[in-house]
A = this chain, B = another copy of it.
Amino acid sequence: MQVRVIESKKVYSGAISMRRDRFAINGRVVEKEIVEHLPSVGIVAVREGSLLLVEQYRRAPDMTLLEIPAGKIEQGETPRQAAVREMNEEIGYAGRLKPFLKWYMAPGYDTELMHLFVATDLKKAKERRDMDDDENIVVRKVTLATAVKKCFNGEIRDAKTIAAILAYSHSA
């Protein structure tokens, strides 16, 4: 398979950007919008056999969702540093982080690659950093069995959270 980029044009720049690519794939020309999003981290945070999840209002679906702690990797951070920061900000814990899986969130049109970690040996963070200004988070401690059940009964409706919980459950 041969891919040749003909034109790549930024059509919006912001915290998230959008570009329009024209490219030839095996000689056939395609035009496509691509969302440019920084890579990110997600964390399966395990405490006393339960998972620490976060409940927060999400503007895009206009509803409150139950998710794993997650967030962008900021400029200059390694994935591990971002995971440490997000755990501090979102759940107020530090812990032992182990890289687990990596996945694209929506590879049909979005560049975001998420690095998933498992965090164990959790300890309350001494100093808790301010959350990002749009975070409005309630931490929920849920047994692994209940978390798995919520993936199937509609209480969890976020792809990364379902993938993370079922992957951790499969490996645990």
Interface of A with B (CB < 8 Å)?
A: 1, 3, 11-12, 14-16, 18, 20-21, 23, 25-26, 28, 30, 32-35, 37, 57-62, 64-65, 67, 70, 101-114, 133-134, 136, 148, 151-152, 154, 157-160, 162-163, 166-167, 169-171
Contact = CB atoms under 8 A, between A and B. Distances in A.
Given A33-B15, A157-B102, A152 B171 contact: yes
Oligomeric state, in copies: 2
B154 A167 contact: no
Given A14-B33, A28-B133, A159-B163, 18 more contacts: A11-B14, A18-B35, A25-B134, A25-B136, A34-B60, A35-B35, A37-B106, A37-B109, A60-B109, A60-B110, A60-B111, A65-B104, A103-B158, A105-B105, A106-B160, A107-B158, A148-B170, A162-B167
Contact of A23 (B30, B33, B34, B59): B59
A84 to B, nearest CB: 19
15 contacts: A3-B59, A11-B12, A15-B32, A21-B59, A25-B136, A30-B133, A34-B59, A60-B111, A61-B111, A61-B113, A105-B106, A107-B158, A114-B159, A160-B163, A162-B167
